[in-house]
Structures are given as structure tokens and as C-alpha cells.
């Protein structure tokens, strides 16, 4: 008979939002797999102290923690664990609970400590046997320590994962702060310097500078040359002249100049006051960045890695190399733990050696590209001399509103102007093209659009009829439009497909055109994610948190209806992030048999002590079994064990200001769109594509391929990567 397996889970080092989601996933996956799981409270300190700091957890012990910031099992710095004696005591304490497999959630320090511990384990056990603290059988049964690492760090500073647990939430906090500062700065025509965390990593500074639409950024990996103050002041002056009412400079805490002299927020303030005469204030965000509720991304990503960590540990053998479980392109990514730690430390060393090109290189191509995009957008003057006959590019939206449309339009206008183009805005989508509502947009016209929900240019679902195409062609000719950039959803794609297929009849349509995906439904071909979906998810999950809170006094089942049309993305991802017990997806439909089984499960669950049961239904999961029907059915069958409520979230899901992720995605896609159109125009060709994110890269697909990539009656892509995450939900939802 094999001996029972016992896992320990611990959070260590700096706390980070999302750690709780990871702990919950570890605990529930382990229990789902029939394995005992212990929490080690207060990081390595709890391991060294033992006793009730190492506790067996049950399913419900990790209920209602998804939405909480920080870590409910505590974290601490523990000097004792750096000593061999401390680790010897830790080994003994773990063995008292039969633990020889650990999930460590922490930064590079914590993961290094875990690796040392693993390497020493056999010797530590031999010493414990010799001292009579454990018997030989125990040492034999637990001859090896197996570990797996998850990265909890708001800085996003670890090689081996695209994102660390907590980074996205920190970005939310910083972006909220910059948005707030922007409005007060604009009112008083003031300047602000915002200092953000990141000793060796400029991720938070750079992404928040882009998401916040700020003017200048200083990061450790790419310090400015000596004399940078002149350049900064010049850029800010140009911005003011072009219509900006405020200036915001973001400084990472580890920022220096190229000589390695630290640059503090206060120094930047002095420069702005002395050289520009601007009334300048410094805001150091500090621990606010670690605070608050975790973002949706941090909840579902941490859930995925927590789940995968247990699977990894259960498959591990004493000889297998410890792995770091992270994410790459939203999929689980395994990489050898210590290699990741060493490469991460190499970045700090590279910066210390002033080898900045290499530091940027290690950060990767998209980091460098984003830095470049930021600079171009912040500079009001074009970097090329406009030609006497500049190209004219029209930007328009189409289909339902998606938060981030404005961000994309602003980026397109600024980056297009930077390439020397005249940028045109079409008001009112394709109807605007029919009615000739086109106007030139300058750098200052799109000021402030970054953070704005909705669509300043307007967005309608109207698709021109075949007869109206003639008028559309006339408008394009009258306004001498050389290229089209469309930011929108399903109907916009349809409209462009129609226009593109009529190229032979209308010469005006023989211009380069590109569609960028923007819809909360995330139902477009050629892109794994669309602009707006992350914001909608955050709105939904915030509502779910409130719904949960509202139900604490009663035993209650909630049926929450979310949008998405025929695509279950919003339902599944909000369910993962909001801790739903059951999700009804249009991809699966709903049968009577399903409902019978659900009712049984619900009854058992409430009988065994459950107080809240969350179900999420996509609006089109089944035409007959509506949200109202489900709620009535559950109520009828509840045996008065629980009551049932329904909530149809409706249009609030399309509202709200774009999340940082949507702003970054919008900026990145818009930059790609402008690059594509510029290249086509320079080559003299007239390609038509729709673009999107596929496995982390922005890719193009010819417009004529659109019908081959979609399930037309159901208006969704044939391939949907996120459907594979259903198994995680199943493992976590049922005791
Ligand atoms: P982070 O994990 O966020 O990098 P620290 O570097 O402070 O944070 O590490 C957290 C804890 O991990 C330390 O207090 C210590 O207990 C343990 N630790 C860190 N480095 C080592 C090491 N080299 N050997 C043993 N334990 C370590």
C-alpha cells in the first residue's frame, strides 16, 4: 500500500494580491485529488516554529478568500531559515505532518531558500535521525523533498513567466492613482511626479505610464543619457503647446541615469519647477500598490498556476528537477526553477554593470517595443518630416461599445501622426462613412482619451447595405482616404468583410485596411483576446463580490446572467475569478439532465453546510432555459433549504473605464495597425487584414479568410483557447 501524500503550501516574501487565489487552488486541487494539504502560516517562520503554524486544511477553509488582497496564511521575513539550524527544525516540523512536497509562493529569495532546503534535505534528515528527533522509517519514507515554485511579486520581475502573481493588481492600483492625479493636475494645470515600485524592473512604471497616458517615464533597464533633463523638458513643452493641461512623469524606484546616478521623484520635481516653472507635486505610491482586492487576471491566473502546481507535485519524483509554474500567453508554462531565479538575478547584475541593452534584451521584444511606442505617443512632434502630400488614414469604430476603444483611437492618431500621416476620425461608425462625418484629428484632440470608457468617435452596430456601398466609396474618395483602421466587434468585421469583397466594383475600396478586435464578448476570429473583455470581466467580478457579500446572512443560491452572446468567455473567466460553483456556457448548452444533476448537487451541498452557491449563466446558454427559468426551478426544488435570487448584470458590463490590460492591449494593437497601414502604403499595396493576439504575438489574417475561421450561426471563432480551462473549474468547484 502506498503511503498517503501530504502537501504543504506557503506564501513568503512580500505579499501580493492573488496569493489567496493560488492557495485556494492548491488546497482544493489537492483535496480533489485525495491528497492531504497543510498551510504553513507566516512563511518560513511558521515552518521553523512548527506547532499550530502548520495546519491541515479542509475545503471550506479556503472559501471566500478569492477577493481578498494580501495572503490569509500570512507571510514573514525569516532570518532563521537562512541558517542551517533553522532549516533542520523546519524539516522536523514538516515531517510531523508527513509533508515532503511543498508549493512555495514567493519571490526569488523565497524560491532560492526552498531550493537550498531541498538540496540539504537528505542530510538534514540524517542529522534528525542521529539526534533521535525522527525515526529511520520516517526518514526512509520521506527521503526526498519535492518543491514547486509560484512567483508572488508585484514587480513582475521574474524570468520564466509572463506575469507574476500580484503585478496586474498593482498595475490597477497605480493606474487608478494616475487617473485620479490626471484629473486634478488638469484642473490646476499642474505637474505630478509619480514614484512606483520596481527596484530592478521597470514593468510597473512603463505599463502604468502607457496605461495612464503620461508624458515621461524613467525605468532601471533603460536609463536616459546624462543631460536627459533637457530632453524631458523639451517633450513636456511640446505637449503643453499642443494642448495638454497637465504633465505626469512616472519614475520607477530603481531609476538611474546611464552613469548609474539614482533619479528620485523629488529630483524630477525640482527640474520641472526650475526649468519649466511648473507647479509640481510628488506622489510616492508605496504600499498602496500592494493593497486592495486582486484584479480578475490575478485571480484566474493564480488559480491556474495553483492548480498546475499540485499536478506538478503529484507527478514529481525525487529525481525530477524542481519547476517554476508560470504563464506564457495565458497558458501554463513550466520552467526549471533555479534557472529562472538565476536569469532573474542576472538582470539586476546586468543593470549594475550598466549593460542596459542586454537588460532590455532579457526583458524581451515586447517590453522594448512598448518603450518605443510610449516615447512616440508622448512626443507631440512627429519623428519624421511630414511629406508634402501626406497619406490620409481614417479611424473608425463599429459594433457594441468596448472599453479601450478610445485608448486605441488615441494611440492610432498619435502614432499615425508620428509617421507623418494625416489622421481622420469617422464619427458614428459605418453610418458616419455613409454620411461623410469625417474630420481631421490632431495630437491634442485625443488628449485624455486613454482612460475614457465608451467611444468618443461613437460606435454603432450598423452594417451598410449593398446599395449604400456606393455612398461609402464616394465618402472615401471625397476625403481622399488612403487607409482604414477599424476598431470594433463582430458587426464591424462583417461590414469590413462586405466592403472588402466589393473591391472589384469600387476602386475606392482598393486601399489598405485593418480590423482590430474590440468587443467585451471576446468572440472574434484571429485573436485570443479582444480589447474590452478584461474590463468587462473586472466589472462582472466586482459585482459578484458584492452579490456574495449581500448573501452572507442567508443560505442562498444566486443565478447571475452575464453577456457574451454566443461566446462563453465572460461566463467562464468570471466564474473562475469569482469562485462560481456552476457555469452555463453557450458552447455546452443546458439540458434537462444537467439541471437535474445540478439541483441534486446543490441540495447535497447545502445539506452539508454550504451557505452560498454561485451559478453563472451566459445570456445565450439556452434559449428556453432562461435565467428566470433556472432561478424558479432551483427555488421550487430547494426544499426550503436555501433561497434563490437572480441578477442580470446587463449593460454595466460594457461601461466603465478601460482596465490597464485593455489600455495596453489597445495601444499595442493600434501600433500594429499603424505599422501595417504604413508599410502597405509605402509598398503601394492594398492588403486587407484583421489582426489580433495569437500566442502572445500580434498576427494578421487576410480578410477573405474570415468566414473560414468562424462558426457563423453562433458568431464565434471556431477555436477558443480558453475552453480548456473548464477542467480547472470543475476541480475547484466540487468538494
Ligand atoms: P522574496 O521571496 O520576495 O524575494 P526575500 O528575499 O525577503 O523575499 O525572502 C523571503 C524569505 O525567504 C527570507 O526571509 C528567508 O526566510 C527566505 N530566504 C531568502 N533567501 C534565502 C536563502 N538564500 N536561503 C535560505 N532562505 C532564504
Q: Is 443 in the pocket of ligand 1 (CB under 6 A)?
A: no
Structural domain includes residue 220: yes
Residue positions annotated with a catalytic role: 155
200 and 214 fall within a common domain: yes
**Grid coordinates given for 431:** 453610418
Q: Is 12 in the pocket of ligand 1 (CB under 6 A)?
A: yes
Q: Is 116 in the pocket of ligand 1 (CB under 6 A)?
A: yes
248 and 342 fall within a common domain: no
Residue (of 435, 604, 402) closest to 522 by Cα position: 402
The pLDDT of residue 389 is 79
Structural domain includes residue 620: yes
Q: Is 14 in the pocket of ligand 1 (CB under 6 A)?
A: yes
139 and 277 fall within a common domain: no
Q: Which helix (H) or strand (E) holds 255?
A: none
494 and 605 fall within a common domain: no
Residue (of 496, 483, 486) closest to 678 by Cα position: 483
123 and 267 fall within a common domain: no
The pLDDT of residue 385 is 73
The pLDDT of residue 386 is 67
Positive or negative CA dihedral for 45, 47, 53, 57? positive
CA-nearest residue for atom 7, ligand 1, is: 13
Positive or negative CA dihedral for 544, 545, 550, 551? positive
CA-nearest residue for atom 6, ligand 1, is: 109
Number of domains within the chain = 4
Q: Is 84 in the pocket of ligand 1 (CB under 6 A)?
A: no
pLDDT beneath 50: ranges in the chain: none
CA-nearest residue for atom 23, ligand 1, is: 113
| d(CA 35, ligand 1 centre) in Å | 28
Please state, in angstroms and as integers, the Cα–Cα distance from residue 159 to each residue in 124, 138, 328, following that order.
30, 37, 11
Percentages helix, strand, coil for the chain (3-state, rounded to 5) are: 45, 20, 35
152 and 299 fall within a common domain: yes
Q: Is 78 in the pocket of ligand 1 (CB under 6 A)?
A: yes
| d(CA 76, ligand 1 centre) in Å | 9
Shortest-distance atom of ligand 1 to CA 152: 3
Shortest-distance atom of ligand 1 to CA 44: 16
518 and 553 fall within a common domain: no
The pLDDT of residue 8 is 98
CA-nearest residue for atom 22, ligand 1, is: 113
147 and 183 fall within a common domain: no
Distance CA 676, CA 687 (A): 9
505 and 409 fall within a common domain: yes
| d(CA 13, ligand 1 centre) in Å | 6
Distance CA 547, CA 552 (A): 9
Structural domain includes residue 676: no
512 and 461 fall within a common domain: yes
To test the ligand 1 pocket, which listed residue (82, 91, 107, 158) has its Cβ within 8 A of the most ligand atoms? 82
Which CATH number covers residue 431? Answer: 3.40.50.450
Structural domain includes residue 277: yes
Residue (of 140, 63, 71, 60) closest to 103 by Cα position: 71
| d(CA 82, ligand 1 centre) in Å | 7
Residue (of 342, 380, 717) closest to 522 by Cα position: 717
3 state SS of 342:
helix
Q: Is 367 in the pocket of ligand 1 (CB under 6 A)?
A: no
Structural domain includes residue 375: no
| d(CA 100, ligand 1 centre) in Å | 20
158 and 26 fall within a common domain: yes
pTM value is 0.96
Q: How many CA atoms lie within 13 A of 431 on its CB side?
A: 9
57 and 129 fall within a common domain: yes
- CB contact at 8 A, 307 and 732: yes
CA-nearest residue for atom 27, ligand 1, is: 113
Structural domain includes residue 97: yes
Beta strands in 519-611 (DSSP E): 556-562, 582-584
Shortest-distance atom of ligand 1 to CA 45: 16
Which CATH number covers residue 195? Answer: 3.40.50.460
| d(CA 606, ligand 1 centre) in Å | 42
Structural domain includes residue 114: yes
Q: Is 164 in the pocket of ligand 1 (CB under 6 A)?
A: no
Residue 332 β-bridge partners: 327
CA-nearest residue for atom 21, ligand 1, is: 113
| d(CA 109, ligand 1 centre) in Å | 4
Q: Which residue range is the domain that position 499 belongs to?
A: 392-531+684-703
The pLDDT of residue 107 is 95
| d(CA 112, ligand 1 centre) in Å | 7
Shortest-distance atom of ligand 1 to CA 80: 16
Whose cell is 489598405? That residue is: 512
Q: Is 113 in the pocket of ligand 1 (CB under 6 A)?
A: yes
Q: Is 462 in the pocket of ligand 1 (CB under 6 A)?
A: no
Structural domain includes residue 1: no
Amino acid at each position: 500500500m502506498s503511503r498517503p501524500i501530504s502537501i504543504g503550501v506557503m506564501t513568503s516574501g512580500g505579499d501580493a494580491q492573488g496569493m489567496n487565489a493560488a492557495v485556494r487552488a492548491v488546497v482544493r486541487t489537492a483535496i480533489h485529488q485525495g491528497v492531504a494539504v497543510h498551510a504553513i502560516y507566516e512563511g518560513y517562520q511558521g515552518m521553523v516554529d512548527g506547532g499550530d503554524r502548520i495546519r491541515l486544511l479542509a475545503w471550506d477553509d479556503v472559501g471566500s478568500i478569492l477577493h481578498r488582497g494580501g495572503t490569509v496564511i500570512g507571510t514573514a521575513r525569516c532570518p532563521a531559515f537562512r541558517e542551517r539550524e533553522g532549516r533542520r527544525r523546519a524539516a522536523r516540523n514538516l515531517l510531523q505532518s508527513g509533508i515532503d512536497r511543498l508549493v512555495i509562493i514567493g519571490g526569488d529569495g523565497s524560491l532560492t531558500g526552498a531550493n537550498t532546503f531541498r538540496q540539504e534535505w537528505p542530510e538534514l534528515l540524517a542529522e534528525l535521525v542521529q539526534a533521535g528527533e525522527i525515526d529511520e522509517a520516517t526518514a526512509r519514507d520521506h527521503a526526498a523533498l519535492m518543491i514547486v515554485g509560484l512567483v508572488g511579486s508585484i514587480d513582475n520581475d521574474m524570468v520564466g513567466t509572463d506575469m507574476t502573481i500580484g503585478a496586474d493588481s498593482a498595475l490597477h492600483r497605480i493606474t487608478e492613482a494616475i487617473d485620479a492625479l490626471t484629473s486634478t493636475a488638469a484642473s490646476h494645470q499642474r505637474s505630478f511626479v509619480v514614484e512606483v515600485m520596481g527596484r530592478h524592473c521597470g514593468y510597473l512604471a512603463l505599463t502604468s505610464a502607457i496605461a495612464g497616458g503620461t508624458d515621461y517615464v524613467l525605468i532601471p533597464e533603460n536609463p536616459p543619457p546624462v543631460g536627459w533633463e533637457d530632453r524631458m523638458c523639451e517633450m513636456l513643452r511640446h505637449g503643453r503647446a499642443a494642448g495638454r493641461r497637465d504633465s505626469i512623469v512616472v519614475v520607477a524606484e530603481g531609476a538611474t541615469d546611464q552613469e548609474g546616478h539614482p533619479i528620485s521623484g523629488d529630483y524630477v520635481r525640482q527640474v520641472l519647477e526650475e526649468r519649466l516653472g511648473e507647479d509640481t507635486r510628488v506622489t510616492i505610491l508605496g504600499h498602496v500598490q500592494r493593497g486592495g482586492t486582486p484584479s480578475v487576471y490575478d485571480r484566474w491566473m493564480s488559480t491556474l498556476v495553483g492548480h498546475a502546481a499540485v499536478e506538478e507535485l503529484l507527478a514529481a519524483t525525487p529525481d525530477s528537477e524542481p519547476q517554476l509554474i508560470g504563464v506564457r500567453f495565458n497558458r501554463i508554462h513550466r520552467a526549471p526553477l533555479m534557472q529562472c531565479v538565476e536569469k532573474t538575478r542576472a538582470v539586476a547584475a546586468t543593470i549594475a554593470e550598466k549593460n542596459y541593452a542586454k537588460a532590455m534584451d532579457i526583458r524581451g521584444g515586447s517590453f522594448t517595443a512598448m518603450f518605443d511606442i510610449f516615447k512616440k505617443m508622448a512626443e507631440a512632434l512627429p519623428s519624421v518630416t511630414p511629406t508634402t502630400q501626406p497619406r490620409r488614414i481614417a479611424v473608425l469604430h463599429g459594433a457594441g461599445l468596448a472599453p479601450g476603444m478610445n485608448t486605441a483611437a488615441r494611440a492610432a492618431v498619435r502614432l499615425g501622426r508620428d509617421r507623418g500621416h494625416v489622421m481622420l476620425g469617422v464619427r458614428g461608425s459605418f453610418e458616419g462613412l455613409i454620411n461623410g462625418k469625417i474630420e481631421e484629428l490632431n495630437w491634442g484632440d485625443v488628449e485624455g482619451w486613454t482612460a475614457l470608457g465608451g467611444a468618443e468617435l461613437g460606435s454603432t452596430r450598423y452594417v451598410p447595405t449593398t446599395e449604400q456601398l456606393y455612398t461609402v466609396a464616394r465618402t472615401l474618395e471625397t476625403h481622399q482616404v488612403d487607409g482604414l483602421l477599424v476598431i470594433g466587434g463582430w458587426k464591424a468585421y462583417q461590414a469590413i468583410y462586405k466592403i472588402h469583397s466589393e473591391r472589384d466594383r469600387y476602386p475606392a475600396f482598393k486601399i489598405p485596411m485593418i480590423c482590430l478586435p474590440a468587443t467585451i464578448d471576446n468572440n472574434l476570429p484571429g485573436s485570443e483576446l479582444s480589447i474590452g473583455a478584461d474590463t468587462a470581466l473586472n466589472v462582472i467580478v466586482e459585482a459578484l463580490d458584492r452579490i456574495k457579500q449581500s448573501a452572507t446572512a442567508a443560505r442562498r443560491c444566486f443565478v447571475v446572467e452575464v453577456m457574451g452572446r454566443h461566446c462563453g468567455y465572460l461566463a467562464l473567466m468570471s466564474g473562475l475569478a469569482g469562485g462560481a460553483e456552476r457555469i452555463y456556457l453557450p458552447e455546452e448548452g443546458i439540458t434537462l439532465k444537467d439541471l437535474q444533476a445540478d439541483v441534486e448537487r446543490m441540495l447535497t451541498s447545502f445539506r452539508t453546510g454550504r451557505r452560498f452557491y454561485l451559478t453563472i449563466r451566459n445570456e445565450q446558454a439556452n434559449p428556453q432555459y432562461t435565467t428566470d427559468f433556472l432561478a424558479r426551478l432551483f427555488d421550487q426544488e430547494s426544499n426550503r433549504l436555501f433561497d434563490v435570487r437572480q441578477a442580470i448584470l446587463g449593460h454595466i458590463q460594457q461601461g466603465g473605464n478601460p482596465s490597464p490590460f485593455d489600455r495596453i492591449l489597445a495601444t499595442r494593437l493600434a501600433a500594429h495597425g499603424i505599422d501595417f497601414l504604413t508599410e502597405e502604403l509605402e509598398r503601394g499595396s492594398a492588403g486587407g487584414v484583421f489582426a489580433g493576439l495569437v500566442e502572445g504575438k500580434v498576427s494578421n489574417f487576410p480578410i477573405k479568410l474570415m468566414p473560414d475561421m468562424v462558426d457563423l450561426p453562433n458568431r464565434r471563432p471556431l477555436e477558443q483557447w480558453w475552453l480548456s480551462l473548464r477542467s480547472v473549474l470543475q476541480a475547484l468547484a466540487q468538494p
